[in-house]
Amino acid sequence: MARSGERVGGSKVSLSVHEQRTILVVSHGHRADAIDAARHVIDSILAAGTGVALAELDRSELGLHDRTDIARLGIDVGVADISLAIVLGGDGTILRAAELVREGTAPVLGINMGHVGFLAEIERDDMADALRRAIAGDYGVEERLALEVRVKDTSGDVIYETWALNEVTVEKASRERMLEVVLEIDRLPLSSFGADGVVVSTPTGSTAYNFSAGGPVIWPTVEAIAVVPLSAHALFARPLVVGPEASVAIEVLARTNGTGILWADGRRSHDLPPGARVIVRRSARPVRLARLHPAAFTDRLVRKFGLPVAGWRGPVEPATGMLPVIALEDDA
C-alpha cells in the first residue's frame, strides 16, 4: 500500500498537511562522519515539523539519550507509525534498517557513507537535496524480492524462522571439516556433495556474497533466486538460477562429521546439527526501497565496481529516423 507522498507506478500521492509523519533515522555508529550527518539529518527533520524516531542502539551511539523530542522506536512509536527510514551508512547499516522496519510498510532510503553501497540511493554529496525531498514525501518506492527461511529438525518440526534481503547461507561451523549436504529444488533432490556451504541469493544480494562466490549478477527487475555452492567437492556444483516461486532446500546429512550454521544477511544466525533441513522460499513480504532518481542498474554496476567503459560509442541513430539498410555482399 502506498503512503501519502510516495510515487508508485510513476504517479505521486499528495501529502496531506494534516498528516503527522515520523521518520526513523538509522546510522553507522562507528564512523564520525556518519554520526555528524545523522545529527544534522535529525535536526533538519525536526525543524521541518516532522517527527523523528531512533532505535535504542542509535540513541546510544549518537549520544542522544537525553533528547525528549526524539521518539523511541518500540516505546513511543511503533513500526507501523514509521513513514520512512533514512539510513546513513553502507549496505550493512541499510540491512539493519530493513530489519527494524520489517513488520511495517516504511520504505528505506539509503545515503551511502560506506564504500560500495549497492543498496544506497544517493551519495553523501547529494544529501541536502535528498533530505528536502524525503521530508516532503517526494520519492518513489521500489519493491525488492526477499526470502523466508525455515529450519526443521529430523522430526520435521520447525525450530527456527527468519528472512533475508540479500542472501541465506548454510556454512560449515568449523574450518577443518567439510559440510555434507543434499541440495533439493521443488521437493526433488538435485545433488549431494561436500562443501564449505551453499549461498541462496536474491537479485538484490547477487552483488554481495553471491558475487564473491562466483554466482551470476542478476538485475533487480528479474524475479529469480540464485543457488551457489561454496568450494564444493563435486562434479556438478555449478551456480543455479531458479524461478521466484521455487522452493530450495538444503539438508545437512546426518552422517556429516561437522555441524553447520545458518546466516541470514550476515546478521542473524542459527546452528544446524546433522540432519537439519533448511527451506528457502520467496517471502510474501518484499523489502521497500525509497528511490529519488530513476537509475539504470547498468550505470550502478559501472559506478560501484569502477568497470572500464572507455571507447564505448553507443548505438548510432540514422539521421532519417529509419532503420539502416544493410547491403549483403557476395562472399564469392
Please provide the size of the chain in residues: 332
- Distance in angstroms (rounded) separating the CA atoms of residues 264 and 233: 24
Question: What pLDDT was estimated at residue 323?
Answer: 53
Residues 6+ apart with CB under 8 A from 191: 182, 183, 234, 236, 237
Average pLDDT over residues 264-287: 96
CATH number of 6-144: 3.40.50.10330
Query: Which amino acids are annotated catalytic?
Result: 91
Question: Cell 551470476 appears where?
Answer: 216
- Distance in angstroms (rounded) separating the CA atoms of residues 6 and 196: 43
Mean pLDDT of the chain: 89
Residues 7-31 pLDDT 10s: 544 434 334 443 579 999 999 988 8
More confidently predicted of 61 and 116: 61
Does CATH number 3.30.70.1140 belong to domain 147-282?
Answer: no
Average pLDDT over residues 290-314: 89
Whether pTM > 0.75 for this model: the answer is: yes
Delimiting residues of CATH 3.40.50.10330 domain(s) in the chain: 6-144
CA distances from 326 to 323, 329, 332 (A): 9, 9, 18
Residues 190-207 pLDDT 10s: 999 999 999 999 999 999
Residues 27-81 pLDDT 10s: 998 888 999 999 999 999 999 999 999 999 999 999 998 999 999 999 999 999 9
Give SS3 for 58.
helix
The upper half-sphere exposure of residue 62, i.e. CA atoms within 13 Å in the direction of its Cβ, equals 28
